Amino acid sequence: MLMNAIGGLCTGAMTVRIAHRGSKEWEAVKAIRTQVFIEEQHCPCELEWDRYEEISRHVLGLLDGEPMAAARWRMLAYRQRPTARLERFSVLRGYRGKGYGKALVSWVIEDARRAGFGEYILHAQLHLENFYRSFGFRTVGDPFEEVGIPHIRMVRCDSSPCKDA
């Protein structure tokens, strides 16, 4: 990956930028999440926009300058250790199945790693469990329902003390 002139990383043809709240990138993140989670997956608005918006690091994926993917991550304590919680991965319908989701997940993991994290947790939609396994995530616990959609908790650890816990 190469750093581009505007502060994002280029991942193939997709550019990923940090979306600061109040910016045009933030507006694009909101539009993508609204389309994917609220309109397509019927997630209630009040559950999509939560108290973690302010403390999360939001990212926007662009293809030829057009917004097409979004995600966020934040810090939380998991097993009494600081952990990066990866969330809200969303790719617009017309861009799915082309590797942009993989590029976005890789970018977010690397961004959290650069911030000092070596442990990552996410709640994967159950049908995406194998997708996240391809990044080294392992399943923890049993499936559960979140916003009416089956999910599974998954964890990835970059260091052996974490892997043993």
User: What's domain 2-164's architecture?
Assistant: 3-Layer(aba) Sandwich (3.40)
Q: What pTM value is reported for the model?
A: 0.88
Mean pLDDT of 115-143: 96
Give counts: helices (H), strands (E), the chain: 5, 9
Per-residue model confidence as pLDDT tens digits over 11-52: 558 999 999 989 999 999 999 999 999 999 998 888 888 999
Q: Where exactly are the structural domains of the chain?
A: 2-164
* Percent with pLDDT over 70 in the chain: 89
Phi, psi of 8 (to 5 degrees): -105, 175
- Report which of residues 79 and 39 the model is more confident about: 39
Q: Return the amino acid letter for 110.
A: E
